[in-house]
A and B are shown apart, each in its own frame.
Chain A
């Protein structure tokens, strides 16, 4: 699931880690290269989850997102046909996967703004990223409701 490294970190810690990594690079082409590299390293989604129902609405390129609920925690796996998008997906998965629905609902996701991505992404990508974050919060709300 590619989430093992995030399990013991809080959402805030993972965000800070990403902010630090991006701060280290000054050229935006290098930052993009890192995003793409993260996309390439994102573990493959199980093919059975790469179905139309798992496509995120509002993304210009295709993004599949699947949520697994195990022992009170949500684990996300995802894929995209475009590499930059896949890298963005990898960032989101890295921050949010392996946390409880409550933690995800309460999380303040500031890393996208802090690393300057919001102003650097094209509007369609930026909207797509927001749709992805929204979808994850929806999953969290749904599983949180199921729990009670």
Chain B
């Protein structure tokens, strides 16, 4: 969804480039100028200083004050390209496509015997966590992997939640706008084959 930092009146906002099809290792930090001016630099290096005398160091202006040393040039160009790409397709269109894929996947997955969807969020977006019978999520994931289907397995950086559910982790399928219904069919087929071996 589109987010307006002005409408929300946020002081700071961050996001990672790889979440929007951009390169890894780069992200965006938005901050209100009044706060960024007050914040001292967290790192020293080239280009972050305006003048230095024995008495006084004057830091460079924003954003250079926080961009010490050689910048991640390739990363920045890559992230800009990714943002242009996503904007050209359109956030609403991406959202609608992903929502349709999610509905299709939820319906198809629920038909698999012994498959349990973990979490029942009303406004589910992007991912479906599940368990196949008593099979360990790593086993399910590995057998899907062997069939050319990439999913994530484990506790997904939220171990306390896994403790609440009383499970070691989940297998998790996520969808991007370029995924297809045929790929979801392949996931279902892959899970049925894995179930035959594991259960």
Contacts and interface: CB of A to CB of B under 8 A. Distances in A.
B138 interface: yes
Interface string B167-199: 010000000000000000000000001000110
A81 to B, nearest CB: 6
A83 B145 contact: no
A119 interface: no
B147 A84 contact: no
Given A29-B193, A61-B136, A81 B168 contact: yes
Given A60-B138, A61-B136, A83 B146 contact: no
Interface string A58-86: 00110000000000000000000111110
- The DSSP consensus for interface residues of chain A is helix
A83 B193 contact: no
Interface residues of B, number: 14
Given A36-B139, A36-B198, 15 more contacts: A28-B146, A29-B147, A32-B197, A33-B197, A60-B138, A60-B154, A82-B136, A82-B139, A83-B136, A83-B139, A84-B143, A85-B138, A85-B139, A122-B145, A125-B142
Interface of A: 28-29, 32-33, 36, 60-61, 81-85, 120, 122, 125
